[in-house]
């Protein structure tokens, strides 16, 4: 096979576009491929490894089994018409780079058909270009989950980045790394309900379903939700639509009753007034409808390139997608053109032109952090590793750091992130440079860990060949744990994720947005708890400008949705208990009806919200407080405003 462009990458591996190499025999690894066509090759880690923050780790046998399961399910999904067709799966053992003699690593590979775009992109286009997500297209989305469930599986990570459109225009599921069995009818319905909810939210953003009530009869997601609630839904009724060609979506042709009438007075111009003429000779349409109508906006966008159209997918939401007509060099050139033609300085400096960082050269990687000694590894991943370090007592303090870092205290531990940074002036180098800059900003704003220094190091190894490798380093405060682990402990140890803790988690994203940034990979593994108990964001490798966001609440909507699911899984909030303290549920409803008060969570980012209190202790204290209040009210009149018992217990 001949490797082409990257289609996506994440902590578990990467996906590249490949084609047949006619000069090499394929052997028995794959079959059924055609010369001249491109395919998606997924490369998975099957070795022992630990995630960068240490929240998960796998032995080689566990990683091998995980990859083996994904290969097996992907094959079944392809044969069943639920996922892309798989042409071959295999493992390959290679020597570990930079390790001792005899050290090897196992890798898994899966060759499959390449799709044209992710379903999320198709829905975003429907929103921005005023297209109609037809009833059959909606049924196809839900039918995929029905059909997959009837095969015995449920896709846990079932967002629209994990589904795509094949080259014929049919929908398919993607990424079968996080799948569970779905045998019982209740479990099948539960998974379908989640898919219905995501679909309903996507439809609500399109003008076709948002602006006109008369299209309710075409809103399959809304009808399905009502049927499920009323226990009238007929399982399997959507499966027939899976094989239908449902893409591209048709354009919304508005009738006269849907057109917006603007009651502005007519401008009585005198004879000397002239039309506003553009340089190309056409009359400029400055009417309110031209400025606000989605179809008009779409027309103005023709011929331009928007950054959101070519954003890569992250983590495990791989992009097995084909983009016709634009090569990687052309994409890069268009991006540069887009940057230079933007009106005004709308991007933070870190995203447009991050300042350079110090560069040093050494012969060994261990010499890349002078004045610091490594204590232990905190985690590792596809992009590098994080180690715990402290100041070398023999190093002479800050001066030994060659101005790479400053402000460290003897005896304290810090986190040092090491990243591969490609060559000088390469795309990888620029990406790491951006991450360094954003991390420093986040630390200054109290959003992320404080950064004490960042630099590059070129390691030159002399031998038969001279090998030069560039690494990037960020030295920051060490946190006590990832937020994902704290939330998992709440579920397993019956702890309470307090309202203030929930607000702090949302406030971080509000504050980051107001600072000019949006964390694209905003799961709870990319947030943590500092040593004092405050929440912080982590990992700024995939960040975009806040100017690229359609609505502010889009930034917190996904976080809220994930938080609601996690809280409902804890004993304290399960089965609808303690709704008055489930702030995430309140926020979810507020976002849906557009009453969410943006910015009100930001002050909570400075509050100590961890450790979470034990539920049993809270119940005991509540009883004591209530008894005390009752006895005091019997003897005297209570004056002033009573303090909220929950706040008393959480302070």
CATH number, domain with residue 251: 1.10.510
What is the CB neighbour count within 10 angstroms for residue 383?
A: 20
Residue 289 is assigned to a structural domain of this protein: no
Distance CA 13, CA 1 (A): 18
The residue written with tokens 């504050």 in the block is 511
Q: Retrieve residue 336's tokens.
A: 């540069």
Contact criterion met (CB below 8 Å) for 345 and 514: no
Does one domain contain both 109 and 168? no
Does one domain contain both 142 and 230? yes
Does one domain contain both 435 and 458? yes
- The angle formed by the CA atoms of residues 491, 529 and 409, to the nearest 5 degrees, is 150
Does one domain contain both 633 and 578? no
CATH code where residue 393 lies: 3.30.200.20
For residue 244, the SS3 value is coil
Strands 359-362 and 451-461: parallel
Contact criterion met (CB below 8 Å) for 178 and 159: no
Q: Retrieve residue 92's tokens.
A: 């390959």
Does one domain contain both 587 and 624? no
Question: Partners of 477 in the beta sheet?
Answer: 414
DSSP string, 346-403: -S-HHHHSPPP--EEEESSGGGSSTTEEEEEEEEEETTEEEEEEEE-TTTTGGGGGTT
Does one domain contain both 582 and 595? yes
CA neighbours closer than 13 Å in the CB half-sphere of residue 391:
20
Residue 311 is assigned to a structural domain of this protein: no
Does one domain contain both 495 and 603? yes
pLDDT of residue 274: 40
Last residue of one domain, picked from the residues 256, 287, 317? 256
Last residue of one domain, picked from the residues 88, 113, 138? 113
Q: Which residues of 287-317 are buried (b: 16+ CB within 10 A; e: fewer)?
A: eeeeeebbbeeeeeeeeeeeeeeeeebbbbb
Residue range 354-403, pLDDT digits in tens? 999 999 999 998 899 999 999 988 876 556 789 999 999 876 554 455 68
Helices 119-128 & 294-301, crossing angle to 10 degrees? 110
**pTM: predicted TM-score of the whole model, two decimal places:** 0.50
Does one domain contain both 61 and 74? yes
Residue 155's region, left for phi above 0, alpha for psi from -120 to 50, else beta, is beta
Distance CA 285, CA 297 (A): 12
Residue 202 is assigned to a structural domain of this protein: yes
pLDDT of residue 323: 39
Residue 79 is assigned to a structural domain of this protein: yes
For residue 111, the SS3 value is strand
Distance CA 126, CA 175 (A): 23
Strands 527-529 and 517-519: unpaired
List of the chain residues with pLDDT < 50: 52-55, 256, 258-328, 331-332, 334-335, 337-345, 398-399, 625, 629, 632, 634-651
The verdict on whether omega for the bond into residue 248 sits within 30 degrees of 0, i.e. cis, is yes
Residue 264 is assigned to a structural domain of this protein: no
Query: How far, in Å, are 339, 461, 475 from residue 364 at the CA level?
Result: 38, 8, 19
Does one domain contain both 474 and 490? no
Number of H helices, E strands in the chain: 17, 23
What are the two backbone dihedrals, phi and then psi, of residue 586, each rounded to the nearest 5 degrees?
-60, -45
Residue 526 is assigned to a structural domain of this protein: yes
Residue closest to 517 by CA, chosen among 346, 369, 297: 346
pLDDT of residue 622: 52
Cβ-Cβ contacts under 8 Å for 581 (sequence gap 6 or more):
496, 498, 499, 573, 646
Distance CA 438, CA 349 (A): 9
pLDDT of residue 50: 64
Last residue of one domain, picked from the residues 217, 237, 256? 256
Distance CA 609, CA 125 (A): 40
- Per the structure, the complete domain to which residue 644 belongs is given by 617-650
Does one domain contain both 447 and 546? no
Distance CA 156, CA 179 (A): 6
Residue closest to 388 by CA, chosen among 485, 478, 480: 478
Residue range 241-282, pLDDT digits in tens? 999 999 999 999 865 454 444 444 444 444 444 443 333 333
Residue 284 is assigned to a structural domain of this protein: no
Contact criterion met (CB below 8 Å) for 166 and 84: yes
CA dihedral 633→635→637→642, nearest 10 degrees, is -30
The residue written with tokens 């959507």 in the block is 238
Residue 320 is assigned to a structural domain of this protein: no
Distance CA 373, CA 387 (A): 10
Q: How many domains does the chain have?
A: 5
Helices 499-514 & 583-592, crossing angle to 10 degrees? 50
Does one domain contain both 108 and 169? no
Quick one: CA dihedral 307, 312, 315, 320, positive or negative? positive
Does one domain contain both 160 and 211? yes
């Amino acid at each position: 096979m001949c490797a082409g462009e990257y289609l996506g990458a994440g902590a578990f591996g990467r996906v590249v576009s490949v084609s047949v190499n006619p000069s090499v025999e394929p052997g028995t690894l794959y079959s059924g491929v055609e010369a001249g066509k491109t395919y998606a090759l997924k490369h998975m880690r099957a070795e022992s490894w630990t995630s960068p923050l240490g929240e998960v780790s796998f032995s080689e046998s566990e990683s091998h089994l995980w990859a083996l399961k994904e290969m097996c399910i992907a094959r079944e999904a392809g044969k069943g018409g639920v996922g892309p067709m798989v042409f071959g799966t295999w493992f390959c053992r290679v020597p570990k780079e930079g390790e001792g003699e005899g050290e090897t690593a196992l890798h898994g590979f899966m060759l499959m058909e390449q799709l044209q775009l992710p379903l999320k992109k198709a829905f975003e286009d429907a929103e921005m270009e005023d297209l109609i997500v037809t009833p059959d297209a909606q049924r196809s989305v839900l039918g995929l989950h029905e059909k997959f469930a009837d095969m015995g599986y449920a896709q846990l990570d079932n967002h629209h980045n994990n589904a795509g459109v094949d080259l014929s225009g049919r929908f398919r599921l993607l990424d079968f790394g996080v799948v569970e069995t779905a045998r019982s009818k209740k479990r099948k319905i539960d998974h379908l309900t989640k898919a219905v909810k995501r679909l309903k939210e996507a439809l609500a953003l399109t003008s076709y379903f948002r602006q006109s009530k008369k299209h309710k009869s075409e809103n399959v997601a809304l009808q399905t939700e009502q049927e499920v609630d009323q226990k009238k839904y007929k399982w399997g009724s959507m499966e027939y639509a899976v094989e239908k060609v449902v893409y591209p979506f048709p354009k919304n042709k508005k009738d006269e009753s849907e057109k917006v009438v603007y009651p502005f007075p007519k401008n009585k111009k005198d004879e000397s007034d002239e039309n506003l003429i553009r340089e190309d000779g056409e009359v400029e349409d400055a009417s309110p409808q031209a400025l606000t109508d989605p179809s008009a906006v779409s027309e103005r966008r023709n011929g331009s390139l928007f950054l959101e159209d070519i954003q890569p997918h992250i983590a495990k939401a791989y992009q097995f997608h084909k983009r016709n007509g634009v090569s990687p060099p052309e994409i890069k050139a268009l991006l540069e053109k887009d940057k230079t033609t933007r009106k005004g300085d709308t991007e933070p400096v870190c995203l447009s032109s991050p300042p350079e960082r110090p560069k040093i050269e050494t012969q060994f990687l261990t010499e890349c952090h002078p004045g610091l000694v490594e204590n232990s590894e905190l985690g590792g991943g596809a992009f590098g590793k994080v180690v715990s370090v402290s100041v070398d007592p023999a190093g002479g303090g800050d001066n030994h750091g060659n101005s790479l870092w400053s402000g460290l205290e003897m005896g304290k531990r810090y986190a040092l992130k090491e990243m591969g940074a490609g060559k000088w002036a390469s795309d990888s180098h620029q990406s790491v440079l951006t991450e360094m800059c954003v991390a420093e900003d986040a630390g200054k704003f109290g959003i992320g860990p404080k950064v004490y220094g960042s630099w590059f190091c070129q390691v030159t190894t002399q031998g038969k060949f001279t090998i030069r490798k560039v690494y990037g380093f960020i030295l920051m405060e060490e946190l006590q744990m990832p937020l994902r682990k704290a939330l998992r402990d709440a579920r397993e140890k019956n702890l309470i994720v307090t309202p203030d803790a929930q607000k702090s988690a949302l406030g971080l994203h509000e504050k980051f947005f107001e600072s000019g940034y949006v964390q694209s990979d905003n799961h709870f593994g990319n947030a943590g708890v500092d040593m004092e108990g405050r929440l912080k964001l982590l990992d700024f490798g995939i960040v975009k400008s806040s100017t690229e966001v359609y609505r502010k609440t889009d930034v917190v909507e996904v976080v809220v949705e994930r938080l609601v699911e996690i809280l409902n899984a804890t004993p304290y909030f399960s089965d609808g208990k303690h709704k008055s303290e489930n702030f995430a549920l309140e926020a979810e409803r507020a976002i849906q009806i557009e009453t969410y008060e943006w910015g009100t969570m930001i002050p909570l980012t400075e509050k100590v919200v961890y450790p979470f209190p034990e539920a049993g202790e809270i119940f005991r204290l509540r009883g004591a407080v209530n008894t005390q209040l009752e006895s005091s009210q019997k003897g005297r009149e209570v004056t002033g405003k009573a303090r909220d018992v929950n706040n008393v217990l959480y302070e």
